[in-house]
Copies of this chain bind each other. A is one copy, B any other.
């Protein structure tokens, strides 16, 4: 038999950063963050684990940062008309849904020293508040308050139910807390 070791390599799509991150997200979503290992990721991509390092020289650190960027970059769309509160509500609801859908990545979003991944999202919120009439500093503070609330509240929700307490309607609770912040923001806006 003539050895043709490159057949398998030719019949599969080339390894790219994007394919690697997608495969990693699939593992985390399906099996949890703890089961994401370089060896398992290599298996999923039909490649030796070490091949990943060729596309991500910083190794697993770079992989986890990539997951955070992939999930957490989520800018808000500016309001079509004047209703900035509605635009913020829609963003908050959609962002929470995204974080919930990739709950295994949330620990990384909260934890990793990867500020760039959130600064685009924060900037989009700041701009909406600025146009609503808040002074520059108050708009920046408000943007981070919203971001911190959504991330923190979603993390609390995903921690699971407290055994002694009645089951919580987390949708309602999330909305109620969000309205607290929006009320506070309204009192500081030019167009409340």
| A interface residues with partner B (beta carbon < 8 Å) | 106-107, 110-116, 118-119, 138, 140-142, 144-145, 147-156, 159-165, 172-173, 176-177, 179-185, 187-188
User: Are A153 and B160 within 8 A (Cβ)?
Assistant: no
Is B144's CB under 8 angstroms from A156's CB? yes
Q: Is A164 within 8 A of B119, CB to CB?
A: yes
Chain B nearest Cβ from A192, distance in angstroms: 12
A104 to chain B: closest residue by CB: B111
In the assembled complex, the CB of A94 is this many whole angstroms from the nearest CB of chain B, namely: 17
Find the residue from A147, A152, A156, A165 having the highest chain B CB count within 10 A: A152
Q: State how many copies of this chain the complex holds.
A: 2
In the bound complex, CA of A188 to CA of B177 (Å): 12
Contact A173 B155 (CB under 8 A): no
Q: Chain B nearest CB: distance from A162 CB in Å? A: 4
Going nearest first, the 6 A-B pairs with the smallest beta carbon separation are: A152-B152, A180-B184, A145-B177, A148-B153, A148-B152, A141-B176
Given contacts A112-B159, A118-B159, contact A179 B173 (CB under 8 A): no
For the complex, give the distance between the alpha carbons of A106 and B109 in Å.
12
| CB-based contact A148/B165 at 8 Å | no
